[in-house]
Chain A
């Protein structure tokens, strides 16, 4: 369930942010999201996010690319219009296979790379004409924003966040559940 009210705590330094995240986590509060102007190393671990599964997706996409290359070259060069490759008119896929290896390699990489990027965008809920979810434009410049759901404990949270070095703590209504 999405909370209707959230707290936005704003930091100006990634090291302060990191220790704040550890503090907030140790007090057993759930961090909804953190907006940063650049990737902060180790932040995902500190927030307790699950490790990414994109590597598995990438492996599967690579296998698909390899299969496409094999089937495609077999159709184009052997079945549909049999070709005499390198003066060896054997018209056998296996015997002409070395000529197809560069294509297999390239399509494996092509599929893995492109589909992985597309998957990443979709998983991050980024698609064309999407309205930015960023709650504060300063997080694209030099501020870090931590968003915490409130369950009637705003006083406690506010003082905790101030203590961790937040330069600003705002209680805001969340516009809509995304």
Chain B
């Protein structure tokens, strides 16, 4: 049995406390008065400015989608003073949205790791894989975070409506579906039969219930299989059946979850392969975390049955799914770039205009780096090499989530500063705490699995 080492526990609690302080600091400093924002904008304009001092004209191209919609709705010949007030208020909102988005991005990132691992785990059962059973307890430990992680993400989404002022999801504003109100938005109103708060919460709870049920029973059967007679594989068979069922449920709900929890931050925009794109991101992050935790436990001599062929296979998955992610990222980009339809292309225009570094940087981190570092077969067996690649991949996919959420909520007012890093530390601490506590609950070798001998002798 594994015991959660004191040192690691202290680190995780310290991360949570420091992170929480960062998050609180983010919320406390995000409420700027109208005058403060106005002065700030004027200063920025004079810094960049030179020729074009009018900050309205300056900021117009970098507006996010609904802001420019608002501006159009005025009919084009609105008062300049009114435009100016609108713009300052808009920036004021973006600044207020930042701590919400920072917490949401980090919460989603760590939740997505756990969900990706859950899918990977189910695939191992459905495919009756012979190489991986020695890693099952590590995967089961990580998937313990699915339930708390998902509930936190949903709670933040809902709280952003009730406590914040629809800080993450603009469509949660009821006025957008009210034709009488000045915030009325025809497209959001058209989608309101799907995108409305009660149905959003119910859907979220259904997804979470389904994932958690699978995780609960898969874990239960895995433990029961350990304690069963050698010739009794009934628990393994049950686990196989629920894994197959879960994978069907998962691919539908994962896709819908990605529309709900991510894509709807830009309620005018949609992409039909968005679910796959998010899936690739969570899958590669999940596999990377399996590799990292496996290497950590192996370095403590807790997994003597894991050999470097297992590590090699995990690294191959990291390499392959990184390329799969790039394939989807590029497919989404190229089709929209090619057709050049204004309402679609605005998504990438914002990212190229205001997010050039994170947007292109993430392609380097998630594609070029793993491609070059993990291509060589021998390097996939060297732990420190895989750790290095893994850390870059994880940072890259954090930025991926960042790029999905931030442009819609904070526009060009983004930065990876105290609120963002605080939120990462908070959820990293929670993740480590939950995962390693779950690892202590069962032996680290799923000894009852019928494929365990094959897995222990696995060599490539």
The chain A residues found within 8 Å of chain B, CB to CB, are: 55, 59, 86-88, 98-99, 101-102
CB–CB B375/A101 < 8 A: no
CB–CB A98/B338 < 8 A: yes
CB–CB A86/B375 < 8 A: no
19 contacts between A and B (CB under 8 A): A55-B376, A55-B377, A59-B375, A86-B337, A86-B338, A86-B339, A86-B340, A87-B340, A88-B340, A98-B330, A98-B333, A98-B334, A98-B337, A98-B338, A99-B334, A99-B338, A101-B330, A101-B334, A102-B334
- Bound state CA distance, A88 and B376, in angstroms? 39
CB-CB < 8 A to B338: which residues of A? 86, 98-99
CB-CB < 8 A to B340: which residues of A? 86-88
Nearest-Cβ distance from residue B312 to partner chain A, whole angstroms: 14
Q: Of all chain A residues, which has the CB nearest B378?
A: A51
- Bound state CA distance, A173 and B340, in angstroms? 73
Nearest-Cβ distance from residue A1 to partner chain B, whole angstroms: 34
- Bound state CA distance, A98 and B330, in angstroms? 8
- Bound state CA distance, A58 and B82, in angstroms? 63
- Bound state CA distance, A86 and B333, in angstroms? 13
- Bound state CA distance, A102 and B338, in angstroms? 13
- Bound state CA distance, A101 and B333, in angstroms? 12
Q: Mark B307-339, 1 if CB is under 8 A from A, else 0.
A: 000000000000000000000001001100111
Q: Of all chain A residues, which has the CB nearest B336?
A: A98
Q: Mark B263-301, 1 if CB is under 8 A from A, else 0.
A: 000000000000000000000000000000000000000
- Bound state CA distance, A55 and B374, in angstroms? 13
CB-CB < 8 A to B339: which residues of A? 86
- Bound state CA distance, A129 and B241, in angstroms? 53
Identify whether the interface residues of A are mostly helix, strand, loop, or mixed.
Answer: helix
CB-CB < 8 A to B333: which residues of A? 98
CB-CB < 8 A to B337: which residues of A? 86, 98
Q: Of all chain A residues, which has the CB nearest B334?
A: A98
- Bound state CA distance, A101 and B326, in angstroms? 12
Nearest-Cβ distance from residue A108 to partner chain B, whole angstroms: 11
- Bound state CA distance, A88 and B339, in angstroms? 10
Nearest-Cβ distance from residue A113 to partner chain B, whole angstroms: 16
Q: Mark B375-397, 1 if CB is under 8 A from A, else 0.
A: 11100000000000000000000
- Bound state CA distance, A87 and B342, in angstroms? 13
Q: Of all chain A residues, which has the CB nearest B335?
A: A98
Nearest-Cβ distance from residue A78 to partner chain B, whole angstroms: 17
Q: Of all chain B residues, which has the CB nearest A102?
A: B334
CB-CB < 8 A to A86: which residues of B? 337-340
- Bound state CA distance, A98 and B338, in angstroms? 8
Nearest-Cβ distance from residue A96 to partner chain B, whole angstroms: 10
CB-CB < 8 A to B377: which residues of A? 55
CB-CB < 8 A to B376: which residues of A? 55
Q: Of all chain A residues, which has the CB nearest B376?
A: A55
CB-CB < 8 A to A99: which residues of B? 334, 338
Nearest-Cβ distance from residue A89 to partner chain B, whole angstroms: 12
CB-based closest 8 A-B pairs: A86-B338, A98-B334, A98-B337, A87-B340, A86-B340, A101-B330, A55-B377, A99-B338
Q: Mark B336-375, 1 if CB is under 8 A from A, else 0.
A: 0111100000000000000000000000000000000001
- Bound state CA distance, A16 and B333, in angstroms? 56
Given A98-B337, A99-B334, 6 more pairs with CB closer than 8 A? A86-B338, A86-B339, A87-B340, A98-B330, A101-B334, A102-B334
Q: Of all chain A residues, which has the CB nearest B338?
A: A86
Nearest-Cβ distance from residue B329 to partner chain A, whole angstroms: 11
- Bound state CA distance, A86 and B377, in angstroms? 40
- Bound state CA distance, A4 and B375, in angstroms? 44
Q: Of all chain B residues, which has the CB nearest A87?
A: B340
Nearest-Cβ distance from residue B309 to partner chain A, whole angstroms: 13
CB-CB < 8 A to B334: which residues of A? 98-99, 101-102
CB-CB < 8 A to A88: which residues of B? 340
- Bound state CA distance, A88 and B337, in angstroms? 10
CB-CB < 8 A to A101: which residues of B? 330, 334
Q: Mark B253-271, 1 if CB is under 8 A from A, else 0.
A: 0000000000000000000
CB-CB < 8 A to A102: which residues of B? 334
- Bound state CA distance, A80 and B377, in angstroms? 41
